[in-house]
Amino acid sequence: MSDIRYTKDHEYVRIEGDVGTVGITDYAQRQLGDVVFVELPALGAKFEKGAGAAVVESVKAASDIFAPVSGEVVEANSEVDAEPALINQDALGRGWLMKIKLANRADLEGLMSQPEYDAFLKTLA
């Protein structure tokens, strides 16, 4: 079973064991528009929570993607690197960006659950 947590910057992390799959939310991809390029981190790159970890570019803008947790990149999504539009098609599925081995599970405490994120989105309307 996985546990998904969200940031106020519209990143998500899906926790499975000690690895978090990171991407942007459906809300974020809708705001960006058609994604045309991604810059993913290298394997082995280490990030602190909140650090810039990737870049997603759309026809509208480029957006930094911040690491929702501290840790080491153990996988980057080569599929989305080759076909950035996967982010628009399936942001929470095939459109993930990277997998990070968690350095500190306490990083999850400041992130929002699905109901909390849904309530947060209502404040943006």
Q: What is the mean pLDDT of residues 62-87?
A: 97
3-102: what fold? OB fold (Dihydrolipoamide Acetyltransferase, E2P) (2.40.50)
Q: pTM value?
A: 0.95
Q: What is the mean pLDDT of the chain?
A: 95
Domain range summary for the chain, segments of one domain joined by +: 3-102
Q: What is the pLDDT of residues 98-118, one digit of tens each?
A: 999 999 999 999 999 999 999
Q: How confident is the model at residue 1 (pLDDT cuts 50, 70, 90)?
A: very low
What's the pLDDT score for residue 2?
60
Provide φ and ψ at 79, rounded to 5°: -65, -45
HSE at residue 23, side-chain half, CA atoms within 13 A, is: 26
Q: Measured between alpha carbons, how far is 39 from 54 in angstroms, rounded to an integer?
A: 6
- CA distances 33 to 44, 72, 76, 80, 124, Å, are 30, 29, 22, 16, 17
What's the pLDDT score for residue 125?
72
Give start and end residues of each alpha helix (H) in the chain: 26-32, 78-82, 86-89, 114-122
